[in-house]
Structure 1
Amino acid sequence: MKSLFPIFLIRFFSSLGDQSLVYGIPILVYQKTGSISASGFAFAIEWIPRLVAMPFSGVATDFFGPKKMLILADFSRFFITTLVGLLLLLELSNTQIIIIFGILGGAIGFFHEMAFVSFETLAPKIISQNKLAQLQSYLQGIDLGTQILAPGFAAIVLAKMTAIPFLGILSFLFLFGLLGTVLSKLIGRNISEINNVPKVSKKKLFNDITSQFYLGIKFVLKSKELIYLCAIAISMNFSIGFLLSGSAGYLKEGLHSSAYMAGYLGTIAGCIGVLGFLLIPFFLKIFTLQKLGMFGVILFFIANISIVFSKNFILFAIFYAIIFLSDGFYSVYMRTLRAKIIPQHIFSSVIGILLCINFIFMPLSGVILGIFGNSIEHFKFVLLLASLLFGIISFLSFKFLNKNT
């Protein structure tokens, strides 16, 4: 695993920059508007480009190769954050700032999905199948590690400074990731055979991409195991969407804390998540991968129900952290299982489609919060309904998965 350190470092920079925006934008929007509904709508706008990117990034990665897609993703994020930082030097209204940050979050999310799919494609190519679960746990640990740094970083910068220094630092993070990918010999050596893409006509390129996209969709629709795995992930992310978009306002209005504490909540969740990540390899030596996934789902349901009835910041923070910890447990189970199910020749295409399906309800949660989240009681009610929906879907899905995997 030591030889993979450069890849882990690139993943770290990519995830840190993206997570900083995920937590920073809702805080900034609530700060400017004082509205939970506005945060919900901004969250929805931010997620739409991500969904667009997910299926097509998989197809593009299959065709052009993960290294080229990583370079494109990091360069684009560096350029966009720098450009928006320069735009903020102009005199803008609050509404214009909210729109700009919504578009920024969507654009960064679009290219983050490209980078994510590229890393998912790299994993099975650079390590043996019997060590795949261990590698996925390390990648999950990096993602959780950025949840320690990114939310607190976003909260501190946005509380003490303006948005411009915030974007400036993010630009450097993406620049470091870009340089790491360009200079990495490890990535090129392991996947050189799919990076040497011959020159083709635009018509042939379009036909190849369309064909690969169709093969990915066809495989997903035929695989009941993938469909049930997606059902759990969809309902899980639907609930998380409410928390990410509404926590800043709920902390301020419901628990009489500060909107910036939403960032620190993410840091707390990251700390607990890393502890869980350290325990996953030990857990897998004693129990099966299936039990790890089931444990994550049960823990998520309990914490999600409990957070609705939290009466103070401490309880809210504890359950918030457990929610993201349990999401990590299920993610290791899901990633490992789908890596064994999906054929390598269409792996990226299928992953891109699965990511789109898994997160498709994220913007919907933002829209629902925007429409019905005009009060604290409404926020708690929609979160409770999302929790109950998750419980029902997870029970039915694992009933099938336990019999067929």
Structure 2
Amino acid sequence: MRSHAGPRRDHRPVPTLLRGIYLPRSTDAAAFAMTTYGIPLLVLATTNSAALSGLAFALEWVPRLAAFAFAGALVDRHGTTTVLRYASAARALIVLAAASILPTQEQGLGATVTVMLLAASTGILTECSYIAAETAGGVAGREAGDRAHRVQSVLLGIDQVATLSGPALAGVLLQWTGVAGMLTVIAVFSLLTSVLAPRQCHRAKPPRQPVAQGLLTGWSTLRSLPALGWLVTGLTVSNLAVGLLQAAAPVIIVKQLGHSTADVGFTWSVAAVASLVAVALCRRAIDRFGLWPVGALSASIAATACLSIPFAVTYATYLALIAVLMAGEGGMTIVLRTLRSRLIPADTFGATLSLTILLLLLPFPLAGALVATVPPAQLGHVITLCAAVQALGLFATFARLRATPGLRASFA
């Protein structure tokens, strides 16, 4: 008789990257994209107010940013499996509740309050699930060693596919199946994420600490990693220009270039395709040339495109420049994710990850406020100024990283 050296659970097959990481990341990314882009569409369809739709887009980021303050601490304490499972399940319950309530309400205060609460609550839960999924991906990247950038490129590709298909799917469902149809599909993706949550082993629970202490822990870790700190700083500055372009896209495309709202969505779909192509190319380029050359070239491409956008006078030119910009952003994102998975210690990964994402997303509500306060005729000047700041920030970042050991090594 064959004896067993350990408990029965020790012989359970280890999930593959596809089943354990990529599949739950795909369902969560789909729910993330449909929520992020579909909720403002839902607000517009429910209230018939473009102003409230824009306000929902801006307010959506406030609870999301607040969620980062405690999401990382939750992941560090309870593990990726628990946080991803419960956050996704809670999101499914909330959107199903909204799907049953909204069809019974007429346009008015009740419907407005419902959709605004939906935007805020799903924003918080979506960021909690995102932090958990990112942490799981970081663990997988760390275990991959010198092939970490390959894992991160697949994860980024999943996110870009979701960004490409999520807004379109949300719009089609809202048009042909109504509010209930769109929200039900978001709930299905959320439930799938909860069921498929990666079963990663979790260490012993650390002592309880206040949320502020978790942020301080992340800040201390980030300060101890100069290369990661510089890259986060450069991309945070860059995100002000990117966020401004995202927030201003309806004004630029519809009001200034005379195209339809459908062309707004088409613009970001094309940009997502360009980013996917860039991800595939950068994955091989990092193997051959290392992180710094790929990151520096991506930054140069993004900055050049952003500086050119204010001078675009046709929709085709604007579309092409946005695609080039997002391709450059995709290359820099692979570099960031690879550095994060390699450099951040495992015991503070969740808190540090939360802080880095919080810093990267801080410019987005500021960009929304700029679009809300600056007259449309002056947006071009504001975009030019932000593009110049982006170029200077990225130049300073990669000039500083030039001498960092290990960033020029190839990984073939």
Identify the TM-score tier after normalising by the shorter chain: 0.7 to 0.9
The whole-number CA distance in structure 1 between the counterparts of 2:53 and 2:298 is 28
Change (3 A) 1:39 1:216: same
Quick one: which amino acid aligns to residue 244 of structure 1?
Answer: Q
Change (3 A) 1:257 1:221: same
Quick one: which amino acid aligns to residue 255 of structure 1?
Answer: L
Among candidates 206, 214, 217, match of residue 215 of structure 1: 217
Q: Report the RMSD for the aligned CA atoms in angstroms.
A: 2.6
What residue in structure 2 maps to residue 370 of structure 1? 372
Give the Å deviation of 1:26: 4.2
What residue in structure 2 maps to residue 383 of structure 1? 383
Q: Is the 8 A contact 2:89 2:194 kept in 1?
A: yes
- Asked which structure has the greater RCO (Cα within 8 Å, sep 6+), the reply is 1
Quick one: which amino acid aligns to residue 181 of structure 2?
Answer: P
* 1:403 counterpart SS class: coil
What residue in structure 2 maps to residue 150 of structure 1? 166
Among candidates 136, 145, 149, match of residue 133 of structure 1: 149
What residue in structure 1 maps to residue 359 of structure 2? 357
Q: What TM-score do the two structures reach when normalised by structure 1?
A: 0.87
What residue in structure 1 maps to residue 289 of structure 2? 287
What residue in structure 2 maps to residue 113 of structure 1? 127
Change (3 A) 1:108 1:399: same
1:11-22 pair list within 5 angstroms: 11-22=25-36
The whole-number CA distance in structure 2 between the counterparts of 1:197 and 1:340 is 23
Query: Are 1:323 and 2:325 an aligned pair?
Result: yes
Give the Å deviation of 1:351: 0.7
Q: Is the 8 A contact 1:39 1:370 kept in 2?
A: no
Q: Is the 8 A contact 1:43 1:102 kept in 2?
A: no
Task: Out of 104-113 and 20-29, give the one that drifted further.
Answer: 20-29
The whole-number CA distance in structure 2 between the counterparts of 1:295 and 1:104 is 40
The whole-number CA distance in structure 2 between the counterparts of 1:148 and 1:386 is 26
Give the Å deviation of 1:305: 2.3
Give the Å deviation of 1:235: 1.9
Give the Å deviation of 1:159: 4.3
Give the Å deviation of 1:45: 0.5
The whole-number CA distance in structure 2 between the counterparts of 1:100 and 1:364 is 25
What residue in structure 2 maps to residue 201 of structure 1? none
Change (3 A) 1:379 1:105: farther
Q: Is the 8 A contact 2:69 2:212 kept in 1?
A: no
Q: Is the 8 A contact 2:138 2:340 kept in 1?
A: no
* 2:261 counterpart SS class: coil
Q: Is the 8 A contact 2:292 2:398 kept in 1?
A: no
Give the Å deviation of 1:142: 0.5
The whole-number CA distance in structure 2 between the counterparts of 1:60 and 1:370 is 34
Change (3 A) 1:235 1:115: same
Percentage identity across paired residues of the two chains: 21
For structure 2, the residue ranges without an aligned partner over 5 or more in a row are 1-13, 406-412
* 1:404 counterpart SS class: coil
The whole-number CA distance in structure 1 between the counterparts of 2:116 and 2:386 is 24
The whole-number CA distance in structure 1 between the counterparts of 2:35 and 2:250 is 14
Q: Is the 8 A contact 2:78 2:202 kept in 1?
A: no
Q: Is the 8 A contact 1:147 1:269 kept in 2?
A: no
Give the Å deviation of 1:222: 4.2
Query: Are 1:276 and 2:284 an aligned pair?
Result: no
Query: Are 1:169 and 2:185 an aligned pair?
Result: yes
Residues 356-393 of structure 1: per-residue CA shift (max 9 Å, x gap): 11111111111121112x42x23333222221111111
What residue in structure 1 maps to residue 107 of structure 2? 93
Query: Are 1:395 and 2:409 an aligned pair?
Result: no
For structure 1, the residue ranges without an aligned partner over 5 or more in a row are 182-186, 199-203
What residue in structure 1 maps to residue 80 of structure 2? 66
Number of aligned residue pairs: give it: 388
Quick one: which amino acid aligns to residue 373 of structure 2?
Answer: I
Give the Å deviation of 1:40: 4.3
Change (3 A) 1:239 1:100: farther
The whole-number CA distance in structure 2 between the counterparts of 1:379 and 1:29 is 25
Give the Å deviation of 1:120: 2.8
The whole-number CA distance in structure 2 between the counterparts of 1:236 and 1:97 is 36
Quick one: which amino acid aligns to residue 131 of structure 2?
Answer: V
Give the Å deviation of 1:38: 5.1
Change (3 A) 1:192 1:404: closer
Change (3 A) 1:252 1:162: farther
Task: Out of 122-131 and 66-75, give the one that drifted further.
Answer: 122-131
Q: What TM-score do the two structures reach when normalised by structure 2?
A: 0.86
Structure number with bigger Rg:
2
